Structure 1
């Protein structure tokens, strides 16, 4: 054994970012796969251990801080490349694409890390979709950075877990928790939203934050609030819940062996899966998928049905309406593969067939966005307006998204609307459905 020494002097010269960029480790999906698997395992296996979840969050926070530095450095390099006229156009474009791809890879890893924290939030808040959706109703705070505010938050976060013995989550490293800085849950299930201030200064922004916290807390405690001038209430619903994630589990297992697999779900959706680690001939994959469910696809085409395709990488963009991958009842390996894009699911959904299923249950289709022109559509446009007797329902796209991405049984939506219909006439209010059996679907 031999000992050596080395002295490194840093910060004495102006930084050369062309060298600095090589000193910053930039994770690619495959490089980070095992780390994500380990983090995900701890989040699920040790979900009851306050200290384990505390340490896990600090590790993920450290990774996110490191990745922010890496992305900042790469963006500086992109600016320099764009201004560098000495490079040939082809060389410059190649280097730009390389950095852009690396930034994309880091962002996908970051989203996977935040999705793990989202799973912790879902478990701590007992899978209450209404609460989780309401807490996310705020703009994302952007990349996490080490500053005075974060240091103060970490001090409060540590105190809540180590001294107050509560479960606590750092909101900035999650997607769902955007109200306040820290969310705590005590052993009685009571939730506290903490807004941390690094100074005693007060201003209009702080007042608005305080008012926002008060509104959210009142909504959760009373189940009633005002939204855009309309009364909004939480509506408990105890209909049985069912999804088809067991089918997803099976076709992922097949794809891991043969590269690709496909199944038909309820005559209204085709689920396809590709394992990119097994992919060696894309033409054969396309040929395989084209040969599957030919009679169904031909019938859809002959009927001129409205059919759209979506994919699992759509989940890179956060949606407050959808459960995170990290609570799906799949293996650690399968969830990780979905999050980083190694496993790729395509959902081909027949929207016309969905409307027909509602009609078979006795609902009348009053209107649907499928009849509208593109310029008539907006984010507020419902998928359909349906009625039974004098009872009218607007079916939001959020419900259809659950049928697609969570593979929720369409029967659950129909049973939900039937339960509302059976309650008879109600005052004109908007409601958020809180499924009391939500936890039965996950983990």
Structure 2
């Protein structure tokens, strides 16, 4: 469930005391992630983050129990935290709101764990892509085995001064329980309360993940052709435009602009909107006017049912493939506002325009998704890109190699939400099309990502 599905207005959620308290906590946590320089920095930050997450999850468990009791015609249990919304305590919706707010705030704190993971892995996306390939972890509070995991973290720190990152504090690390940074680099481990009950399946997934990082072999999962591919091109983005967007939206409420590469960007900051004293109708009119103008400048406004978009709204720590806002090169306050949806942004493109751009760069492309406004489905093919290479064989014959790459939602989301430079993105596509080693399900990784992310 998403909170806004309950029929609440964004400002009602953001004005909730629990949500406001989380916003105040996020900024110093982001600053500490960025200031991490030593195992001690990581260890101390993790301790504080663990406290935040356990507190909110314990409250969530209590509210969840209260909701179950009320559905059964009983009063909430003794000792349950009192809702902070000021709404009617006899209404079950009040308690559902508190439960879902705890889920939301818990994800916000986990996004700091994601940022810490990216920082600890030196912004090497290969580790995230390899270690995210499991179901998400559940609630930490009350988890069997949590005590053993905590003791393991403490023993690594106490005995050798090594930082052990708990995966349950993140959304992006889903294989294994902890990663420990040793003299020869990171090592990921599965932890069991009783060492006699090993989990060979999970241990094999850890080994498969590291082998994929080291040699380019198959990633963990059911598809042996899913492999990492190193792109010999530095990552280039338009982060400077997102920096401008967050600054202008904080001041003016709304900012919209053309993004190079057949895209348009819209940013809205709730505090900036409130400062303008617009009526709801004036706000809607201004958003529509600026957004339509940005689409026109980007030449993507002619047929909106062929457009694709990616948004920041209520997506924090849902998709392990997304770079966490905490490591985006933005002011810590702006990053915290994105995490808490106080500020949101959307990036949109036209599918046919994108295909035309790639074709003009020598990559024949065809937009294959039919018109429609439905959300993308995982695994859906939206665009196909082609290459054809010919060469003469020793006996005088001509050989032809044809290859087709299919663009799916995860890569489209990355192109949009990370504001990838289109020339850089096209270079990666060209590399995959022309390389004889490209697998049927490639995961491209550009060089020098640390120059983009903080």
- Judge same fold: TM > 0.5, yes or no: yes
Please give the alpha-carbon distance, in whole angstroms, between the structure 2 residues aligned to 1:146 and 1:193. 23
1:405 aligns with 2:417: yes
Q: Gaps spanning 5+ residues in structure 2: where? A: 1-15, 76-86, 389-401
Q: After TM superposition, give the deviation of residue 58 of structure 1 in Å.
A: 1.5
Task: State the partner residue of 1:197.
Answer: 192
Please give the alpha-carbon distance, in whole angstroms, between the structure 1 residues aligned to 2:206 and 2:365. 40
Q: After TM superposition, give the deviation of residue 48 of structure 1 in Å.
A: 1.4
3-state SS of 1:412 partner:
helix
Task: State the partner residue of 1:383.
Answer: 382
The aligned runs of 1:231-242 (5 Å cut-off) are 231-242=225-236
Cα deviation 1:146-174 (Å, max 9, x = unaligned): 45511111111112223222232011111
The counterpart of 1:396, out of the listed 380, 390, 408, is 408
Query: Is residue 65–residue 146 contact of structure 1 (8 Å, CA) maintained in 2?
Result: no
Task: State the partner residue of 2:28.
Answer: 38
Q: After TM superposition, give the deviation of residue 69 of structure 1 in Å.
A: 1.7
Query: Using a 3 Å threshold, how does the CA distance of structure 1 residues 294 and 94 change in structure 2: closer, same or farther?
Result: farther
Cα deviation 1:235-270 (Å, max 9, x = unaligned): 211213221221111122112222222112126322
Task: State the partner residue of 2:329.
Answer: 329
CA radius of gyration, larger in = 1
Task: State the partner residue of 2:111.
Answer: 115
Task: State the partner residue of 1:28.
Answer: 18
1:434 aligns with 2:432: no
Task: State the partner residue of 1:151.
Answer: 147
The aligned runs of 1:160-171 (5 Å cut-off) are 160-171=156-167
The aligned runs of 1:56-67 (5 Å cut-off) are 56-67=45-56
Aligned length: 408
Q: After TM superposition, give the deviation of residue 287 of structure 1 in Å.
A: 1.8
RMSD: 2.9
Query: Using a 3 Å threshold, how does the CA distance of structure 1 residues 27 and 219 change in structure 2: closer, same or farther?
Result: farther
Query: Using a 3 Å threshold, how does the CA distance of structure 1 residues 291 and 136 change in structure 2: closer, same or farther?
Result: same
Cα deviation 1:315-363 (Å, max 9, x = unaligned): 2352222211111000111100110111121333322221221122232
Query: Is residue 256–residue 290 contact of structure 2 (8 Å, CA) maintained in 1?
Result: yes
3-state SS of 2:193 partner:
coil
1:246 aligns with 2:240: yes
Q: Gaps spanning 5+ residues in structure 1: where? A: 1-25
Cα deviation 1:179-222 (Å, max 9, x = unaligned): 2111011244x11112212113336xx22222222322332333
The aligned runs of 1:7-406 (5 Å cut-off) are 28-45=18-35, 47-84=36-73, 95-146=91-142, 149-188=145-184, 190-202=185-197, 206-225=199-218, 228=222, 230-266=224-260, 268-278=262-272, 279=274, 280-281=277-278, 282-292=280-290, 294=292, 297=295, 300-303=300-303, 306-316=306-316, 318-366=318-366, 368-370=368-370, 378-389=377-388, 390-406=402-418
Cα deviation 1:113-156 (Å, max 9, x = unaligned): 11111111112212221221210111112010245511111111
Cα deviation 1:19-69 (Å, max 9, x = unaligned): xxxxxxx96221222211111111111x11212221221221122222122
Query: Using a 3 Å threshold, how does the CA distance of structure 1 residues 252 and 367 change in structure 2: closer, same or farther?
Result: closer
Query: Is residue 56–residue 105 contact of structure 2 (8 Å, CA) maintained in 1?
Result: no
Query: Using a 3 Å threshold, how does the CA distance of structure 1 residues 240 and 175 change in structure 2: closer, same or farther?
Result: same
Please give the alpha-carbon distance, in whole angstroms, between the structure 2 residues aligned to 1:401 and 1:350. 13
3-state SS of 1:345 partner:
strand
Query: Using a 3 Å threshold, how does the CA distance of structure 1 residues 229 and 395 change in structure 2: closer, same or farther?
Result: closer
Query: Is residue 130–residue 433 contact of structure 1 (8 Å, CA) maintained in 2?
Result: no
TM-score of the superposed pair, with normalisation by structure 1: 0.83
3-state SS of 2:108 partner:
helix
